[in-house]
Amino acid sequence: MIDIYPVNDYGPLMPGLVMAAVAIVHVFLAQFAVGGGILLCYFQWLAMTGRSESARVFVHGYFKVLVLISFVLGALTGVGIWFTSIQVSAPTIGEMVFNFHWIWATEWTFFCLEVVAGYCFYRYHDQLSDRTCLTLLGLYAFAAWMSLFWINGILSWQLTPGDWLTTHAIADGFFNPGFWPSLLFRTIVCMTLAALIGCVVVNVIPVLSREQRQELIHKAAHLMMPMLAMPILGAWFLFSMPADSRGWVLGGSPAMMLFFMISVGASLAIGGYAVVGLWLQKLYINGATASLLLLLAFGATAGGEFVREGSRKPYTVRHVLFSNGIRPEEVAELRIRGCVTNNPYPVIHEKTLPNEMVTVGAKVFRRQCAVCHTMEGSNAVAHLTASWDADQMRMNIAKLQQTKPFMPPFAGTATELESLVQYILWVHDGRPKDWRSESEPDAIAQIEKWLDEAGTEPADVSSRTTVQQLPVATARQSVSSESEGSAE
Amino acid sequence: MDRMFPFGFESHLSFYLVVYVLTLVVHVFLMAYVLAGSLWLSWVTLFPGGDSIPRTKQPLARILRDWMPFALSGAITAGVAPLLFVQILYRQQFYSANLLLGWRWMVVIPVLVIAFYLLYVVKSKVVSRMSLLVRLGLSISVAACFLFVAFCWTANHLLSLDATVWPDAYGSGVAVKSRVAVTLRLLTWIFGTFPVMSILASWQLRGMRSRTTAWDSAISESDWLPFFNADHRRLGIVSIVGMILASLSAVGYWTTLAPSVRSVLIGNMGMPWMLIVVASVLFQIVGWLFQFRRPCICNRWLSAITTAATITLVGVASLREIIRLSQADLDQVISATKAASDVGGFELFLIFTVLNVGLIAWCVRLVSSRGQRFAAQTKKKE
């Protein structure tokens, strides 16, 4: 049975944008928390071995920032991501939770350790020996990094599920092809972010002299040196991606390539400054410059996350779930039974719609398009289809996966598709009070033909000629025999 | 449904129910501390009393202010586990209720962020020197934030129970069908947080008796003693009153339940838990009354009350699930947990739970030994 959920309308904002905003902030803060633990261990070691006396002042100041920002905002935006994911695509988060709930529960035990170790240090560091402080910070850093370890497996599984698709073994899903490059890359990002925030913090601790600040900044820059490995790890990650996803990033999708370039450019700028300025020339950076570099790092994170999310298209979990929450194996069934047939949720403002056909079209839009599109706001369908005539619209939607390969196949009946077309045309025409209420039999027949030609499989641009398409006639047969079976 | 919860179901369903209930109880312990603590702080700010030291500076208020940020952090972290398992058990219900509440649900996160930062503000020394109006405003704001979150959870939970109202709720935008049910259930939980907070705070009061120099070195330990005893007594009263009011609200909530749900509650599945809850609540009341007759907090009685409170929470959480299961599509819940039980990873969870519980205990031990050393050093100085 297919789960049906209510879909919310966020006005001009598409749900994906809401998700992106929360996710980017959370990822940024969570990576700061992970890197912060490593940085603090390093500085505590510097202080207790006499390598840097001012490191002690820094550790205490930095941890306050970590607690106030990461413990509060980091933890709550983490919960916020769950809530937002439900709003955007309940089937996707449901699939992730279902397959990895014990991994998530394991991560939770590390959250608990992170909070306890962190607060023990925060509350009592001034009454503890150096060795005990290092132990607590070490435990905090270990727990924080392990939380990255666990969540990284789940997130990379979405794009590169690898052998899990055939074995369904949790180890295959977790240690998927993207796991290691992603984990190592993210670890370096965490260390870089922590170092940059360290540079900001150093500049706002009032008791430090200029020389002390310079010394601490150079020590913090040590954590940015692993950035030198980023190109190799980035390339490894890129080549672990499916060919079509890599294609979007490397030019197939202008938006995705743009964000990819922003991410690479910002990372290069930070890495260049760290290596040349801080490491080789021992330059000093003030609070403003450090903040600017941090802003660049935020841009790099945002770009990277956009690419990671976008490159999964047309899936949210590759080969398991399309971005609209419909499973690949459900498409054929929905082509026969319809995607809104059993949907109990009415269309909001239904009275403003002219007739039943347009109402059905609005329901189809809500079910299949609303996750990534609005009607007239951001990524608006009305805008994207503005230059199409009715027949072109019918064909382009019927062959959606061929029209745009990062789109999933249309998963509904020909009549539903026609209703969607009429709904879009009605919007194009300025939402008049009267609108045609019956579909033309010729148009429906033509849509059915196009749907059959397109098949139910998504496009595979990397091997377009070998795409296995399930003929709808076969699907019809199997669904009808299933219905007969259940009727009996 | 003819055996005591969680028995009588398929083993996989019972297993997930037990895990869910136990992790929920851990979360509720900390959540109760935060909610009741914030209400208590608002109360004492409004009514500081006529003692030589105002109630806002007496031990209980100091401890609550000091520990609430950590308790909130703990409550949020502890809340992740039940939030995870509720998605395994009741995916359709939980997601639908989330979606139907929409932004009214999402706003919980910024409200909690505000409350979190306000807790740090309330704790700061600067604020303690500010006018009563500012302090009162801050305290009430914190409490209002937590009450709002509690309301959202209650509305979400009640909405998730009844699938028949979802289409109407979606169409009309009115998510709360019965305001009476929401209010009574909310009151049950709010009043029920006070006994839990009282227990946790009592343990803290007990632990702080020998560490008062950290608050004010000008006041001797013996001078603090009457305030400790007064706060201890107040906690007992608050706990008893909380339990009585929570019980009355629960009875009121009972009347809003459908007859079919009530019959499950008084049937084989729910009745044992009803009796357990009643008995453990009575035990707590008796325990507090015994405590009143003693000059200071008695370790043994406090342990007994803590055990009884834990049993009460397990009982209440179980009754909550019985109510939910009696309204849910049981076949769907069974098939969901059956499928989930086939997914691997439980052994991994067990191993790391043991490891991390050990490491957490080690952290506490490291800090506790510091406490002994710190106390010894302080006494030496005196």
Q: In terms of residues, how long is chain A?
A: 488
Subunit contact B356:A345, Cβ cutoff 8 A: no
Q: Among residues B18, B8, B3, which one has the least CA distance to residue B341?
A: B18
**Collapsed DSSP state (helix, strand, coil) of residue A448:** helix
Q: Which two tokens stand for residue B291?
A: 């405590």
A102/B76 CB distance under 8 A = no
A81 to chain B, closest Cα gap in Å: 10
Does A136 contact chain B (CB < 8 Å)? yes
Contact A457, A468 (CB under 8 A): yes
Gap from B112 CA to chain A (nearest CA, Å): 8
Q: How far is CA B83 from CA A47, A230, B20, B67, B77, in A?
A: 41, 36, 9, 24, 10
Contact B99 A171 (CB under 8 A): no
Cβ contact, residue pair B85, A101, below 8 Å: yes
Write out pLDDT tens, residues A392-407.
999 999 999 999 989 9
Residue of A nearest to B78 (CA): A112
Q: What is the token pair recorded at A17?
A: 């944008």
Residues B31/B193, Cβ–Cβ less than 8 Å: yes
Task: Report yes or no: A150 at the B interface, CB cutoff 8 Å.
Answer: no
Predicted confidence (pLDDT) per residue in A357-376, tens digit: 999 999 999 999 999 999 99
Residue A485, pLDDT score: 45
| B-chain residues near A106 (CB < 8 A) | 345, 348-349, 352-353
Confidence of residue A439 (pLDDT cuts 50, 70, 90): confident
Tell me: the pLDDT tens digits for B120-162?
Answer: 999 888 888 888 899 999 999 999 999 999 999 999 999 999 9
Which of A100, A105, A115 has its CB closest to that of B73?
A115
- Report yes or no: B21 and B6 within 8 Å, Cβ to Cβ: yes
* Of the partner residues B85, B170, B352, the one whose CB lies closest to the CB of residue A106: B352
B11-46 vs B299-327: helix crossing angle, rounded to 10:
120
Which of B79, B99, B352 is the closest to A8 by Cβ? B99
A281 to chain B, minimum CA–CA distance in Å?
A: 40
The predicted pLDDT at position A483 comes to 45
For residues A154 and A149, give the distance between their C-alpha atoms in angstroms, rounded to a whole number. 9
Chain B hits for A78, Cβ within 8 Å: 80
And the tokens for A333?
């069934």
Does the CB of A33 have a partner CB in chain B at under 8 Å? no
Which amino acid does the sequence have at A112? C
Which residues in A171-207 are b (16+ Cβ under 10 Å) and which e?
ebbbbbbbbbbbbbbbbbbbbbbbbbbbbbbbbebee
Contacts of B365 in chain A (CB under 8 A): none
**Residue of B356, B364, B381 to mutate, interface with A, max A Cβ within 10 Å:** B356
- How many angstroms away from the CA of A16 is the closest CA of chain B? 15
Confidence tier at B376 by pLDDT (50, 70, 90): low
pTM, entire model: 0.91
Q: Do B359 and A117 touch (CB under 8 A)?
A: yes
Q: Kindly state the helix (H) or strand (E) to which residue A470 belongs, with its residue range.
A: none
Query: Mean pLDDT throughout A68-87?
Result: 87
Q: Is the pLDDT of residue A472 over 60?
A: no
Chain A contacts in chain B segment 315-374 (CB below 8 A): 339-340, 343-346, 348-349, 352-353, 355-357, 359-360, 362-364, 366-367, 370, 373-374
CA distance A422 to A419: 5
Q: Is A94 on the interface with B (CB under 8 A)?
A: yes
**B119, A71 in Cβ contact below 8 A?**
no
Tell me the chain B residues in contact with residue A169 when contact means C-beta distances shorter than 8 Å.
344
Tell me the nearest-neighbour CA distance from B267 into chain A, angstroms: 32
Asked if A106 reaches chain B (Cβ–Cβ under 8 Å), the answer is yes
Q: Does the beta carbon of B172 lie under 8 angstroms from any beta carbon of chain A? A: no
Q: Identify the closest residue of chain B to A143 by CA–CA distance.
A: B356
Nearest to A111 among B80, B96, B346 (CB): B80
Can you tell me whether residue A374 is helix, strand or coil?
A: strand
Task: Please choose, from the candidates B57, B25, B88, the residue with its C-alpha nearest in 3D space to the C-alpha of residue B349.
Answer: B88
CA distance B106 to chain A (A): 7
Confidence of residue A482 (pLDDT cuts 50, 70, 90): very low
Rounded to the nearest angstrom, the gap between the alpha carbon of residue A279 and the centroid of all alpha carbons in its chain is 34
| Across B276-287, average pLDDT | 97
Contact status of B77 with chain A (Cβ, < 8 Å): yes
pLDDT tens digits, one per residue of A160-170: 999 999 999 99
Q: Average pLDDT in the A216-229 region?
A: 93
In angstroms, what CA-CA distances link B135 with B43, B45, B48, B117, B140?
11, 7, 12, 14, 9
Yes or no, beta carbons of A72 and B348 under 8 Å apart: no
CB contact under 8 A, B84 and A97: yes
What's the token pair of residue B92? 């359709």
Contacts of A80 in chain B (CB under 8 A): 106, 109
User: Given pLDDT bands bounded at 50, 70 and 90, which one contains residue A74?
Assistant: confident
Who has greater pLDDT, B303 or A465? B303
> Which pLDDT belongs to residue A338?
95
What is the nearest CA distance from A80 to chain B, expressed in angstroms? 6
Q: Which amino acid is at A89?
A: S
Yes or no, beta carbons of A115 and B83 under 8 Å apart: no
**A215 to chain B, closest Cα gap in Å:** 31
Supply angle C-alpha A208, A32, A145, rounded to 5: 120
Tell me which residues of chain B, numbers 185 to 204, contact chain A at a CB-CB cutoff of 8 Å: none
Q: Which of B76, B112, B142 to mutate to test the interface with A (most CBs of A within 10 A)?
A: B76
Residue A463's nearest CA partner among A168, A242, A137, A209 is A242
Which pLDDT band, with edges at 50, 70 and 90, does A468 fall under?
A: very low
pLDDT at A330 over 60: yes
Task: For chain A, say whether B146 makes contact (Cβ under 8 Å).
Answer: no
**Separation in Å, CA of B330 to nearest CA in chain A:** 15
Question: Which of 4-23 (A) contact B at CB < 8 A?
Answer: 5-8
Maximal C-alpha separation, chain B? 71
Mean pLDDT of A146-154: 97
End-to-end CA distance of chain A: 18
For A258-288, the pLDDT digits (tens) are 999 999 999 999 999 888 888 787 788 888 9
How sure is the predictor about B380, in pLDDT bands with cuts at 50, 70 and 90? low
CB contact under 8 A, A120 and B366: yes
Question: Taking all residues of chain A, what is their mean pLDDT, rounded to a whole number?
Answer: 90
pLDDT > 50? residue A451: yes
Task: Please state, in angstroms and rounded to a whole number, the distance separating the CA atoms of residues A346 and A9.
Answer: 13
| Residue B121 at interface with chain A, using a CB cutoff of 8 Å | no
Decide if pLDDT at A97 tops 60.
Answer: yes
Partners of B79 on chain A (C-beta within 8 Å) are 79
Look up residue A345 and give its DSSP letter.
Answer: P
| B173 contacts in chain A (CB < 8 Å) | 348
Q: Which of A107, A95, A293, A74 is nearest to A200 (CA)?
A: A293
Q: Which of A60-69, B205-214, B230-239 has the lowest mean pLDDT?
A: B205-214
> By the CB < 8 Å criterion, does A302 face chain B?
no
Token pair listed for B211: 């560490």
